[in-house]
Chains A and B, each alone.
Chain A
Amino acid sequence: MLEQLFQFLVTGITVGSLYALVGLGFALIYNASDVVNFAQGEFVMLGAMTAISLVAVGFPLPLAAVAAILITIGVGLALERFAIEPSLGASVVTTIIITIGAAIFLRGVALLIWGKDFHALPAFSGDAPIHLGGATLLPQSLWVMGATVLLVVLVRAFLNKTLLGKALLACSVNRAAAQLVGINVRVMLRLAYGLSAGLGAIAGILIAPITFSSYEAGIMLGLKGFCAAIIGGMGNPMGAVAGGLLLGVLEALGAGLISSGYKDAITFLFVLMVLFFEPTGLFGHKSADRV
């Protein structure tokens, strides 16, 4: 039984770090613009699918990964330039609806390019499972966990330690005041979309060997990543990671100890409870903290 429990935990952390990685991208755009970007899942899918296609035509994996990240950043910038920027000044709800539209559009384009089949990316360091006590995990999961830790540290340092990062945060706190002190809000928005598209692409490429990818893959990952971000507190990158891990472990324990049929019900009940009792998320700042 103890051995089983250990495997549930390992599974939970593996799945949780996937969610965390996706949740991170949500947090970044939210920081810059107070907007939840529902096309974030599509960035994840685009990164994965582009990398898979490039590997399929013979590119070595590292080169394909870099190219896929750059292409996805390009898409993120284009999305910002042609869909978000023209509606600058519109309400947050309008902007969110624009991102939902963009998500549907990107999914449609992906459908035309790649069709409906699922595709897999080869694992970075083989498929031989690693044994930890009685539990096993795939080497690819270690890549995901490692990258999650590295990226969250980098994002945090960027937002708190660099002038550019602080300028980005300033835009979400008070856009007019940020503009008055000389911050170019448009440039900051582009930066946020470019960065989170890049983060999404990295997440997609890392998790594609485990979860496979298809034109629709962004929906599920986007939803779970979004849940991770709201559990942790929107706008707090560390919170998104903690939220993702919590979600993953909860799913695994729910399926393992109670019933696999109620796994998602347990998770969503938890999300509801969090929103009910702690609307800003478990690790979210109260809105006054930002000033």
Chain B
Amino acid sequence: MNGGLRHILLALLLLTGLNPAHAAEPIKIGSFLSVTGPASFLGDPELKTLQMVVDEVNARGGVLGRPVQLIHYDTGGNASDALRYVKRLIRRDRVDLIVGGTTTGDTLAVIPEVEREGVPLISLAGAIEIIEPVKKWVFKVAHTDRMAAAKIYEDLNRRGLTRVALITGDGGFDKSGREQLRQLAPEYGIQIVADESYGNRDTDITTQLTKIRASDAQALINFGFGQAPAIVTRNVAQLGIDLPLYQSHGVASQTFIDLAGPAAEGVRLPAAALVVAEQLPDDDPQKPVLLSYKNRYEAQHGPVSTFGGHAYDGIMIALAAVERAGGTDKAKVRDEIEKTQSFVGTSGIFNMTPEDHMGLSLDAFKMVEVREGVWTLVENAD
């Protein structure tokens, strides 16, 4: 640590009335994630990432010379548990800021509490409602489903396709995605000619797809996650439906290709750059960040996922804000998070403003396509 910083730190300690024996007081980062339960495939890589980053930062001597302490509770995807744990994080554990909320439901449940208590929250969930309207203490780092819908429609416009069929699951992510697709359709001149749903645990979706086959759709959009989109993809092939199939960013992983097998060939979806890190041009500013995170994560845990990437972006933005704020004063940290500019994360380049508490643009999504069993970057396709 350099001398200047030490003086600033000492001044801060004097100001807050602490004696130097507390100089190593940890920076407490609270977290509540769905590590078990239906959203566990999101929460699990998120927690592993947070732990990895905290260990790395502490091995380098911490932030502002203070160690970073992660306090985490598993919500199991239950919104009322999320609220209970956030109250505990704020009142008993006295955390300095919170990174978390794997799902939109978990995050929305705790917003009133963090707003009242004035604790900065960086959510890892998708829905736009989290930051719209803007809430003083709440930020998010994951792409919104509206961005995914817009990206898909952009690609449809490029290919000159206007009539689409929707097929979505019965989960929150699916429904919210369906809502965005329906809302944005007129803006892009898209007409929705069929709108089917399925249960996320269904084992066969050929019935709904048979109805879609009978419509005059030119493309098929499936918004969902878990195994159901892979079953949809297989059933589309089984029924011989020869339409372009779009999936959502919810299945942007190798697992989807492994499950859907040869039927996945030609499937397109908007994905975070992490999925195609190696294929990015060398001058892409995200490339070194992505490869570094990917290699570090994979050395410890196996295949990386974009959801772990959200946790990486969240905690890195948080720690950078603490460093700029020169301490853990909650209001200062909040202001610094809001001033996050040109931060290169795994999900894109963040430029937050008082009006935009996410700071990602549509460029953050890359359109990718399955070619010969791997996600391949589609650039200005067709």
Chain A interface (Cβ < 8 Å from any Cβ of B): 4, 7-8, 10-12, 14-15, 18, 116-120, 127, 129, 136-138, 207, 210-212, 214, 219-220, 251-252, 255-256, 260-261, 263-264
Number of interface residues of B (CB under 8 A): 32
Q: Which of A18, A127, A260 contacts B197 (CB 8 A)?
A: A260
Whether A7 lies near B210 (C-beta < 8 A) is: yes
A261 and B227 contact, Cβ closer than 8 Å, known pairs A127-B262, A210-B204, A255-B207: no
By a CB distance below 8 angstroms, the chain B residues around A138 are 238
State in angstroms the CA–CA spacing of A211 and B260 once bound together.
11
B40 at the interface (CB under 8 A from A): yes
Whether A120 lies near B261 (C-beta < 8 A) is: yes
Whether B238 lies near A214 (C-beta < 8 A) is: no
Nearest opposing residue in chain B for A253, CB measure: B207
A118 and B227 contact, Cβ closer than 8 Å, known pairs A15-B203, A260-B197: yes
Whether A211 lies near B231 (C-beta < 8 A) is: yes
B12 at the interface (CB under 8 A from A): no
State in angstroms the CA–CA spacing of A137 and B263 once bound together.
15
Could you list 12 examples of A-B contacts with CB < 8 Å?
Answer: A7-B239, A11-B210, A12-B207, A119-B258, A120-B261, A129-B237, A129-B240, A136-B240, A211-B231, A212-B227, A252-B207, A261-B197
A211 and B203 contact, Cβ closer than 8 Å, known pairs A120-B258, A256-B210, A260-B196: yes
B285 at the interface (CB under 8 A from A): no
A256 and B240 contact, Cβ closer than 8 Å, known pairs A7-B206, A15-B203, A220-B201: no
Q: How far is the CB of A107 from chain B (nearest CB, A)?
A: 11
A117 and B210 contact, Cβ closer than 8 Å, known pairs A15-B203, A211-B203, A212-B259: no
A212 and B204 contact, Cβ closer than 8 Å, known pairs A118-B255, A264-B199: no
By a CB distance below 8 angstroms, the chain B residues around A117 are 41, 255
**Residue in A120, A207, A252 with the greatest tally of chain B CB atoms within 10 Å:** A120
Q: How far is the CB of A35 from chain B (nearest CB, A)?
A: 25
State in angstroms the CA–CA spacing of A14 and B238 once bound together.
13
Whether A255 lies near B231 (C-beta < 8 A) is: no
Interface of chain A, main secondary structure = helix
Whether A8 lies near B207 (C-beta < 8 A) is: yes
Nearest opposing residue in chain A for B234, CB measure: A127
A260 and B198 contact, Cβ closer than 8 Å, known pairs A15-B203, A138-B238: yes
Whether A263 lies near B204 (C-beta < 8 A) is: no
Whether A8 lies near B240 (C-beta < 8 A) is: no
State in angstroms the CA–CA spacing of A218 and B56 once bound together.
38
A256 and B211 contact, Cβ closer than 8 Å, known pairs A11-B204, A117-B255, A211-B231: yes
Q: Which of B40, B210, B227, B258 contacts A8 (CB 8 A)?
A: B210
B1 at the interface (CB under 8 A from A): no
Q: Which of A11, A118, A207, A210 contacts B207 (CB 8 A)?
A: A11
Q: How far is the CB of B201 from chain A (nearest CB, A)?
A: 4
By a CB distance below 8 angstroms, the chain A residues around B206 are 7, 10-11, 136
By a CB distance below 8 angstroms, the chain B residues around A11 are 204, 206-207, 210
Q: Which of A18, A136, A256 contacts B238 (CB 8 A)?
A: A136
State in angstroms the CA–CA spacing of A129 and B239 once bound together.
8
Residue-wise, chain B 170-204 has the 8 Å CB interface mask toward A (1 for contact) of 10000000000000000000000000111101011
Q: Which of A118, A136, A251, A260 contacts B230 (CB 8 A)?
A: A118
B69 at the interface (CB under 8 A from A): no
8 more A-B contacts (CB under 8 A) besides A207-B203, A263-B199? A7-B239, A8-B210, A15-B204, A116-B44, A118-B255, A210-B204, A256-B207, A261-B170
Which residues of chain B in 286-314 are interfacial with respect to chain A, using CB atoms and an 8 Å cutoff?
none
Q: How far is the CB of B209 from chain A (nearest CB, A)?
A: 9
By a CB distance below 8 angstroms, the chain A residues around B21 are none
Q: Which of A15, A116, A119 contacts B40 (CB 8 A)?
A: A116
Whether A120 lies near B214 (C-beta < 8 A) is: no
State in angstroms the CA–CA spacing of A248 and B227 once bound together.
20
State in angstroms the CA–CA spacing of A33 and B4 once bound together.
78
By a CB distance below 8 angstroms, the chain B residues around A14 are 204
B266 at the interface (CB under 8 A from A): no
Nearest opposing residue in chain B for A14, CB measure: B204
B208 at the interface (CB under 8 A from A): yes
Nearest opposing residue in chain B for A137, CB measure: B238
B226 at the interface (CB under 8 A from A): yes
A212 and B231 contact, Cβ closer than 8 Å, known pairs A118-B226, A256-B207: yes
Q: Which 6 A-B residue pairs are closest in the complex by CB-CB distance? A: A211-B203, A220-B201, A255-B207, A256-B207, A118-B227, A129-B238
State in angstroms the CA–CA spacing of A7 and B259 once bound together.
24
